[in-house]
Amino acid sequence: MKIAKLTTKHFLFGLGGITSYVIAYLTMLGTVQQYIFFEDPMNEMLFFCAACMLGALCIFSAIPRR
C-alpha cells in the first residue's frame, strides 16, 4: 500500500512537471495570450521563467530516492 502511494505521488509530480513545460512552450508560441492578457512583455517572460522553474522542480521531485 505504501509503495503504491509513493508511486502515485512521484507520477503526479512528473505529470505536473510535464504540464508546466507544456504551459511554458505555449507561452513561447503566444497561445497563452488568448487566455491571459499580459500588460508588458516582461510579465510574459517572467511567467515563462516561472513555468520552466516549476517544471524543473516537479521533475526533480518525481525522481525517487534509492
Express each pLDDT in 13-56 by its tens digit: 999 999 999 999 999 999 999 999 999 999 999 999 999 999 99
Domain ranges in the chain are 9-62
- How far from 18 is each of 13, 49, 54, CA to CA, in Å? 9, 15, 10
CA atoms within 13 A on the CB side of 62: 15
pLDDT value, residue 19: 97
